[in-house]
Amino acid sequence: MEKLTPQQRNQLAFLGGALVAPEKAHDSILRLSPAMFQSGHLRRIFAAIRELTAQGRGLDPVTVAAKAGQDTRNLILHAAETVPSISHIADYEALIVEDYRRDTILAELAALSVQGGDSDGLCARLRTLLDRQDAIRSTQLDASARSFDAVLDAALDSLTHPDRGLKLDWPELDRYGLFEPGNVVVIGGRPGSGKTDFAINLAARLSRRYRVYYLTMEETAEKLVGRLLAKATRIDAARLRDRRLTEAEQTTLHNTAAALRRQHNMVLDSDGKVTVEGIRAKLLCHKPQVAFIDHIGLLTPTDPRQKEYERLSEITRSLKVLAMQMGIVVVELCQLNRAVAREGFAYATLADLRGSGTIEQDANAVVFVRNLAPGGPRLQGADAWRETGVRIAKNRDGALGTLPICWQPQYHDWRPIPQQEEEV
């Protein structure tokens, strides 16, 4: 074995303890994440240990090596044979978290010093950094229970702080308060109802003020940007698709692209074979304030033998924990049961969410895109639009209601219809 750094020794000791006494290390394993381990063999070994633990399967060097890769076998055996003390597993956990937090803070501060910016922007990023560190630290506390008085004092104190909710600059929708840090927001809709158009419109609005991560598993990132270009330029999406552009439209396109570079702070990802743990690693890397997952039914299961209900239950619970730990908003796009298509223009209900009741249970808010009858009237004219809408069917922190919206699929654009919302 080559000489190890102190951080590597702490990580190796923890891995050895987890292999020798998995029952004692169980909670510590689930509190840590692969990103906290050095990239390479150590991270792959821990990722395998965490996945097996989350599935309730036993840990032994052979099973872990089979999942992490046979090239990690010697290191796994070394960790199991040389673990210093099982009784200190919590200490190793604390050291790993401390090393990770320190390295993350230093990296963030270095990035701030290089990128610069105005003082307000730097302060906002520092607050985000501190919030993220508090979230990481909170997962390591031995107890989460507090006295009523302590919670009451904290609640009263929070009312003196600025509103931390993410704003769309779309008043008709902002009033529902959906995008609070730590929230999971589900957007449900049948194929062809404009669900992705609605989501990318929300992402584009949010990215003007916040850092957004958008994961698409149904199309390429370039096609998503094509939707944004059609919306911003008011050039028919079919003309963009078929490359039937006039010289004037080409000029408009490039001028608009230059403006979009300045306006949006978005990371687009078209990874079609990602697990929940993979999403966790991506979010720790990109550090967004809101993440869109389009859509959760396509996420790769950690165990291919799981039933659909079990798979979606694991996904929704993991994404909820992730949102709370990182203090971000997670937006999950979700398919509806096929029976909804028979109801014409009716909105779906919570029972129509496809695959698992835990989608509703784990969500802070559920938004349904109105189901449109197949086909529909042909849109005539550059300013033609189709009347649709969204219904807020669940909202733990606010009102329920229906918001009429005009959808222009030729531009992938969603805009509010200026009229009073219908309460439900």
Domain ranges of the chain: 1-141, 171-416
| Contact (CB, 8 A) for 312 and 359 | yes
Tell me the percentage of the chain whose pLDDT exceeds 70: 87
Distance in angstroms (rounded) separating the CA atoms of residues 128 and 319: 20
DSSP state of 388: E
**Taking Cα atoms as reference points, which of 217, 235, 237 lies closest to residue 227?**
237
Q: Which residue has the higher pLDDT, 36 or 158?
A: 36
Q: What pLDDT, on a 0 to 100 scale, did the predictor assign at position 184?
A: 93
| Contact (CB, 8 A) for 394 and 177 | no
| Contact (CB, 8 A) for 212 and 267 | yes
Radius of gyration of the chain (CA): 24
Q: What pLDDT, on a 0 to 100 scale, did the predictor assign at position 45?
A: 94
| Contact (CB, 8 A) for 276 and 318 | yes
Here the tokens at position 200 are: 């990318």
Flag whether pLDDT at 242 surpasses 70: yes
With cut-offs at 50, 70 and 90, classify the pLDDT of residue 140: low
- Average pLDDT for residues 320-346, to the nearest whole number? 76
Which architecture does CATH list for 171-416?
Answer: 3-Layer(aba) Sandwich (3.40)
**Taking Cα atoms as reference points, which of 130, 288, 141 lies closest to residue 213?**
288
Q: What pLDDT, on a 0 to 100 scale, did the predictor assign at position 143?
A: 40
Q: Which residue has the higher pLDDT, 329 or 358?
A: 329
Flag whether pLDDT at 384 surpasses 80: no
Number of Cβ within 10 Å of residue 346's Cβ equals 12
Here the tokens at position 396 are: 């733990």
Q: What pLDDT, on a 0 to 100 scale, did the predictor assign at position 397?
A: 84
> For the sheet containing 212-216, what is the strand order?
266-269, 212-216, 290-294, 329-334, 184-188, 365-369, 386-395, 401-408, 413-416
Q: What pLDDT, on a 0 to 100 scale, did the predictor assign at position 354?
A: 61
Flag whether pLDDT at 330 surpasses 90: yes
- Average pLDDT for residues 59-67, to the nearest whole number? 90
With cut-offs at 50, 70 and 90, classify the pLDDT of residue 142: very low
- For residue 234, with 0-12 CB atoms within 10 Å meaning exposed, 13-18 middle and 19 or more buried, which class applies? middle
Which is it for strands 266-269 and 329-334: parallel, antiparallel or unpaired? unpaired
Which architecture does CATH list for 1-141?
Answer: Orthogonal Bundle (1.10)
**Taking Cα atoms as reference points, which of 94, 91, 79, 96 lies closest to residue 20?**
79
With cut-offs at 50, 70 and 90, classify the pLDDT of residue 12: very high
Length of the chain: 424
Average model confidence (pLDDT) across the chain: 82
242 in helix, strand or coil? coil
Which is it for strands 212-216 and 290-294: parallel, antiparallel or unpaired? parallel
Residue found under tokens 């910016």: 117
Q: What pLDDT, on a 0 to 100 scale, did the predictor assign at position 75?
A: 92
Q: What pLDDT, on a 0 to 100 scale, did the predictor assign at position 206?
A: 93
Flag whether pLDDT at 290 surpasses 90: yes
With cut-offs at 50, 70 and 90, classify the pLDDT of residue 331: very high
Flag whether pLDDT at 324 surpasses 90: no
Flag whether pLDDT at 222 surpasses 70: yes
Flag whether pLDDT at 394 surpasses 50: yes
Q: What pLDDT, on a 0 to 100 scale, did the predictor assign at position 44?
A: 93
Here the tokens at position 303 are: 């165990």
Distance in angstroms (rounded) separating the CA atoms of residues 283 and 213: 8
Q: What pLDDT, on a 0 to 100 scale, did the predictor assign at position 382?
A: 65
- Average pLDDT for residues 116-131, to the nearest whole number? 75
Helix pair angle (276-286, 41-54), 10° resolution: 130
Q: Which residue has the higher pLDDT, 258 or 416?
A: 258
- Average pLDDT for residues 377-393, to the nearest whole number? 74
Q: Identify the top-confidence range among 121-130, 173-182, 319-328, 413-422.
A: 173-182
80 in helix, strand or coil? helix
Flag whether pLDDT at 252 surpasses 60: yes
| Contact (CB, 8 A) for 140 and 150 | no
Q: What pLDDT, on a 0 to 100 scale, did the predictor assign at position 381?
A: 58
Distance in angstroms (rounded) separating the CA atoms of residues 85 and 170: 57
Q: Identify the top-confidence range among 203-207, 274-278, 318-322.
A: 203-207
368 in helix, strand or coil? strand
With cut-offs at 50, 70 and 90, classify the pLDDT of residue 2: low
Q: What pLDDT, on a 0 to 100 scale, did the predictor assign at position 421?
A: 47
With cut-offs at 50, 70 and 90, classify the pLDDT of residue 378: low
Q: What pLDDT, on a 0 to 100 scale, did the predictor assign at position 14?
A: 92
Distance in angstroms (rounded) separating the CA atoms of residues 362 and 319: 9
